[in-house]
Amino acid sequence: MSTIFKSLYVNCKPMVKLDQINISNNGLTKFFSPIEASILKTLWNEGEMTTSELTEKTKIPLTSVAGTLDRLVKAGYTARRVENVNGRVRYVYEPVFSEEEAATEITTKILDSLVDAFGPLARENFSKYSDKK
Amino acid sequence: MSLSGEFNCIGLCLRLSDFTPFVALFVVVSIALLAASMMLKRPKERLMTFVSAQVAILLAIAATFYLMKCSYMLTFYLYLAYVIISTVLIFAVLRNYDLILIKRLQAKPAGSIMKWAQEFVDRLTSARIYYFDSAVPRAFAAGRSIFVSIGLLELLDDGELKAVLAHEAWHIRNNSRTPYLKQLALMTFSSSSDSELEYMADCFAAEIAGRESLSSARNKVDKVFI
């Protein structure tokens, strides 16, 4: 996918919905469902993958993965193309966003919402937080 | 006349008419056939007795309306409207439902990517195979079209795919008859015997593609081809 298309996607489609964020969960499941998180992580690590490679790597049965993959493609998190090899068709998946892009988007979203809620107080705490690190 | 008045009139007519024993007879026959259909083992016989039970109920409904002497029958007109609407739905809409599905699923003819599959189905019935963009393995028949998802195509091997296609081809072959079963079910306020039909489609698929192919396809994707 071309970079122009990618950035267009980032700008017009919110990657993470704020109402889905659950800070008491672990890792990526704060922002995604467990299966979505597992698929995205695997795709970030491996790059392009077929459906069978994905089910093998994530160890999640196809019946659970398939619906989630449809949802991820529809939501624009992952892209897929159809390959025709020796008369057999298969999907090849790739992530639309890199892990860094996703992290930036999520961080910005959360910082924005903190500023929205607490105003200058939030900004003060940001600088305290970065000084401490 | 009010609806409660009409119900009183129906009760009165049923009590006074000479035809009432016929209505009772049809109902008793229907219950007997229904019991028989539950006890029978072979799907074809079950289907036949179940349909006979539905026909008996239909006769009971017809006899009831025939013996009515009420001047204005709202229930009759309501039932008539219900029958007309369901007939239109089943025979006009359901039969051309594949055209709607092709648009909605943005399905494409599968002959371009899997020529052998279209040729295989051509030998069984006149239907076109369409594939649509979804990772969830699914297959279904509507009108004169068979729909398969790409998820199904990448999951099944050729033998298993043949079993699924033969199953769907059976549905298409019987598309001239199965709507009548649906119609009968709607007119008698009962269910149509879908599980028997699915079983018969599976028998056909096993005959064409082999029992092993069918059961391994069923194991891989149970409940996704109907």
For residue A86, pLDDT over 90 is answered with: no
B18/A66: higher pLDDT: A66
Å between B150 CA and nearest CA of chain A: 7
Residue type, B113: I
Range of the domain at B22: 3-94
| Element of type H or E holding B194 | helix B194-209
Residue B114: list chain A partners with CB under 8 A: 87, 89
Same domain, B166 and B124: yes
Q: Would you state the pLDDT for residue A8? A: 40
Half-sphere exposure of A13 (CA within 13 A, CB side): 17
Same domain, B89 and B148: no
Same domain, B103 and B86: no
Same domain, B121 and B141: yes
Domains parsed from chain A with CATH numbers: 1-31+98-133 (no CATH), 35-96 (1.10.10.10)
**Final residue belonging to a domain, choices B63, B94, B125:** B94
Cβ neighbours, 10 Å, residue B18 = 7
**Mean pLDDT on A34-47:** 91
Looking at residue B204, which CATH number applies to its domain? 3.30.2010.10
Q: Would you state the pLDDT for residue A17? A: 57
Segments in chain B below pLDDT 70: 1, 222-226
Q: Which of B113, B116, B137 sits opposite A66 (nearest CB)?
A: B137
Same domain, B134 and B219: yes
Same domain, B108 and B62: no
Cβ pair B154:A87 closer than 8 A = no
Same domain, B53 and B39: yes
Rounded to two decimals, the pTM is: 0.80
**Final residue belonging to a domain, choices B94, B119, B153:** B94
- How far apart (Å, rounded) are the C-alpha atoms in residues A7 and A11? 6
**Final residue belonging to a domain, choices B65, B94, B123:** B94
The residues on B that touch A, with CB distances below 8 Å, are 113-114, 116, 131, 133-137, 150-151, 153-155
What would the two tokens of residue B43 be? Answer: 């799907």
Å between A116 CA and nearest CA of chain B: 39
For tokens 């305290």, the residue is A128
Same domain, B89 and B107: no
**pLDDT-above-70 percentage for chain A:** 84
- How far apart (Å, rounded) are the C-alpha atoms in residues B142 and B147? 8
For residue A92, pLDDT over 60 is answered with: yes
- Among A53-57, A85-89, B169-173, B186-190, which stretch is predicted with the lowest mean pLDDT? A85-89
DSSP B91: I
Q: Would you state the pLDDT for residue A16? A: 53
Residue A82 sits at φ, ψ, to 5 deg, of -100, 130
What would the two tokens of residue B124 be? Answer: 């069984």
Cβ B117 vs Cβ B126: under 8 Å: no
Q: Would you state the pLDDT for residue B224? A: 53
| Element of type H or E holding A132 | helix A120-132
Cβ pair B116:A87 closer than 8 A = yes
- How far apart (Å, rounded) are the C-alpha atoms in residues B157 and A63? 17
Cβ B70 vs Cβ B10: under 8 Å: yes
For residue A14, pLDDT over 70 is answered with: no
**Quick one: three-class SS letters along B139-155?**
EEEECCEEEEEHHHHHH
Same domain, B70 and B125: no
Q: Would you state the pLDDT for residue A3? A: 37
Q: Would you state the pLDDT for residue A9? A: 41
Cα first-last separation, chain A: 37
Q: Would you state the pLDDT for residue B7? A: 83
Cα separation values, B73 from A2, B23, B85, Å: 69, 18, 19
- How far apart (Å, rounded) are the C-alpha atoms in residues B164 and B141? 11
Residue B163 sits at φ, ψ, to 5 deg, of -60, -45
For tokens 């059961």, the residue is B215
Residue B137: list chain A partners with CB under 8 A: 62, 66
Domain count, chain B: 2
Cα separation values, A75 from A15, A16, A70, Å: 8, 10, 9
Same domain, B12 and B32: yes
Å between A79 CA and nearest CA of chain B: 12
Radius of gyration of chain A (CA): 17
- How far apart (Å, rounded) are the C-alpha atoms in residues A71 and B170? 32
